[in-house]
Amino acid sequence: MKKFLTVIAIWGLFSTMSAMAEVQKIAVVDVNKIVSSSSAVKSMKKVQQAKQKELEAFIQTAKADVKKQKTVKEQKESVLRYENQLTQKRAENIKEYAESIKEADKIITEQISKKASEMGYTLVLPKSAVLYGGDDITDTIIKYIK
């Protein structure tokens, strides 16, 4: 009796899997290509470049101010003050960058999901994780997210 139930369970599992395989419509996407084409990521890069220029300007201002100090003690105090400010600014930039990456990832994932669903796909996988099969919808997604 146990053998019969085991055979029935295995048969049920295989028939369910084959039915699922027939229903599944699988797509693959080149995630790196999509990310590099995303307007959200391009915008994020521009913001980061601007912040980097701000930091460079701050460093130049700090160097000039330190040189203006008359005593070694005043110079050391200025250096410490500017180092603390620079550390704080960098930490803020890193935090903002992490948040913007998270938001861009969310936007891109939602856009891929929405477009793939509209196209009738039930599963989307990164192209790099698939050896064979699946419809490559990368270019369609890129056109959609622009």
Q: What is the mean pLDDT of each run of 10 residues along the chain (146 residues)?
A: 48 53 83 89 91 94 91 92 95 93 91 94 92 92 86
Label residues 102-120 b or e (16+ Cβ within 10 Å = b): eebeeebeebbeebbeeee
What confidence score (pLDDT) does residue 4 get? 44
What structural domains does the chain harbor?
25-145 (3.30.910.20)
* Closest by CA position to 123, among listed 107, 112, 111: 112
